Every structure is written in C-alpha cells, then in structure tokens.
Amino acid sequence: MSNTTTLAGNLTRDPEIRYTSDGQASTTFGLAVNRRWQRRGSEEWEEATSFFDVVCWRDLAENVALSLAKGSRVVVSGRLEQRTWETEEGDRRSKVEVVADEVGASLRFATADIARNERRMPDVERSAGSSDPVSESDVAGIGA
C-alpha cells in the first residue's frame, strides 16, 4: 500500500522550528488548501478550504523555517500520519498530520530565487565519520 499525498496551498502561520533532545530539527506549519468549482448548470462558483498541519524533519525543517513565512504558497509532498495522545484530564485525542518529504515554493503566482545549500551526509554516515558538510563533488566520488 502507498500512503503518499501532494498538497498545494498557503501557509496559515509562520513555520515554528524546535529541536529534539538529541538535536534533530522539527518544523511545523499550517497549510490552507483552497478548492473552487462551478456547479453544473450554474454560473455561480463555490469554494471550500481544508486545513492541514505539516511536520518537517532535519535539514528540510531548517530550510523551511529559514525560507517560508505565513502566506507563502507551497507544494508539499509527504505521507499522512495519525498521532494519538492523552490529555491531562485523561481524554484521548488524535490528529492526522502530513509528514513532509518535500516542500517547494509554488511558482503559479510567484517567482523564486533558489540558493543551494551544501549537501551533508545522512546522520548514520556522519556518526561513523566526520560531521563536516560534503560537497556535491565529494558525493560523486563516494563508491567510485
């Protein structure tokens, strides 16, 4: 089974970055997705808005926090995850979030200037060796 979704919409609030106790970055933001359609046989347009909470991790989280702001139009690709917890009063709560694999600026109504970051090795490889950033030419040489 596949659990992949792609959404295009606008940020409803500035991205909020936090760090776990082991230093992993996590950024959350709200996404409003507008839908507009015309009823059959009618000249009137109808609209509906759906709201989603989006979670980003690691480098993606840091890049989103540095690049986006409330109102930014983005395209998010990721998976849906349900999270469940218990309140202090003992009530069980749950919510569905989009855990983002990719977040990009939508160019439908805007232009963008792209600044490429240096690539870093994944955490697993970094823990075995250097924690220095790795350039694209270094990555091309791995396994050669």
Same domain, yes or no: 86 and 100: yes
Task: Please give the pLDDT value at position 112.
Answer: 83
pLDDT, tens digit, 9 for 90 and up, residues 24-60:
999 999 999 999 988 888 888 899 999 999 999 999 9
Name every residue whose Cβ is closer than 8 Å to that of residue 117 and which is 6 or more positions away in sequence. Answer: 59, 63
- Domain range spanning residue 124? 114-144
- Does 89 share its domain with 42? yes
Task: Say whether both 62 and 10 belong to one domain.
Answer: yes
Q: Is 57 in the same domain as 103? A: yes
Does one domain contain both 119 and 141? Answer: yes
CA distances from 71 to 36, 78, 105 (A): 18, 20, 11
Q: Are residues 36 and 73 in the same domain?
A: yes
* Same domain flag for 25 and 88: yes
Q: 54 and 17 in one domain?
A: yes
3-state helix, strand, coil in the chain (%, to 5): 15, 45, 40
Residues in the chain with pLDDT values less than 50: 125-144
* Structure confidence at residue 124 (pLDDT): 54
What's the confidence (pLDDT) of residue 66?
93
Mean pLDDT of the chain: 85
Q: What pLDDT sits at residue 126?
A: 47
Q: What is the predicted pLDDT for the residue at 137?
A: 40
The pLDDT assigned to 116 comes to 84
| Domain containing residue 79: CATH number | 2.40.50.140
Q: Give the chain's domain count.
A: 2
**DSSP of 45-93, one letter per residue?**
EEEEEEEEEEEEEHHHHHHHHHH--TT-EEEEEEEEEEEEEE-TTS-EE
Q: Are residues 21 and 51 in the same domain?
A: yes
pLDDT at residue 141, rounded to an integer: 41
